[in-house]
Structure 1
Amino acid sequence: MAGLPNSSNALQQWHHLFESQSGQRSPQAHQHLQQLLRLGLPTRKNENWKYTPLDALLNQTFVAAQPQALTAAQRDAQALTVEAWRLVFVDGQFSDSLSDDLARQRL
C-alpha cells in the first residue's frame, strides 16, 4: 500500500514528536512507528479507507502537549462525588501528588 504523498509533513511531525519522547516509548511502539514510516498512510485506493478523508487531519500542525498545572481545588471541582480511591491523570500523565496515597490505604 502506497502512502499519501501529502502526508510526509504530518509523518515528519509525528516522527519528531515520537522521538522527543522516545524514552517513554516501548519497543513495540518503535516498531509500529517504523512500519508507519515505511508504509505511509492509507489512500482512497485502499478499500477500507475509500470513504475516509484524511485531508483535514493531515493539514493540522502537531505539537507536543504542554504540561498543565492542576490544583487540588480544581481537581475537587471536577471530581465525581462517589466514595472511591482517586487516581488523577492530567493530559494522560499520572499525577501522584493529586491522587490518593494507596500505600496508606487499607487494601
Structure 2
Amino acid sequence: MVINPTPYEALQWALEIAGSQSALARKIGLSQAAVWKWVQSSKRVPAEFVLRVEAATGVPRHHLRPDIYPADLGPSPDWPAGHGHERAAAVVPLHQPHTPNRSAAA
C-alpha cells in the first residue's frame, strides 16, 4: 500500500483485505450492491460507514476519508472488535437534563 493513498486506493485496499465486495458488505452489514456503488460511483466510503470499514479491515479512517479524519489528529483509538455497534453503549451524553432537587426547595 502506498504511504498516502487516495480515498479510492484506501477503499480498494479495504476490499483486498476483506476478500471481495460481498465479504466487506457482510462484515459491515450492507448489501454487495451498496459497496459496488461506492467503487463505481463515489470512489470513496460514505462518511457514515468509515468507522465500520476501519473496524472490519484495519484500513485507517484517515486513509479512507482524510477530509473527515485528518492524519495529524493522531492514531485511531483502539476500539473493540466488531461492527462498531457496541461502541454506542460506551458513549456518554455531553448534556444531561437538569433535574431540580425538590428537597432543597424552601
- Please give the TM-score of this superposition, normalised by the length of structure 1: 0.29
- Bigger fraction of residues in strand: 1
Structure 1 or 2: more helix by fraction: 2
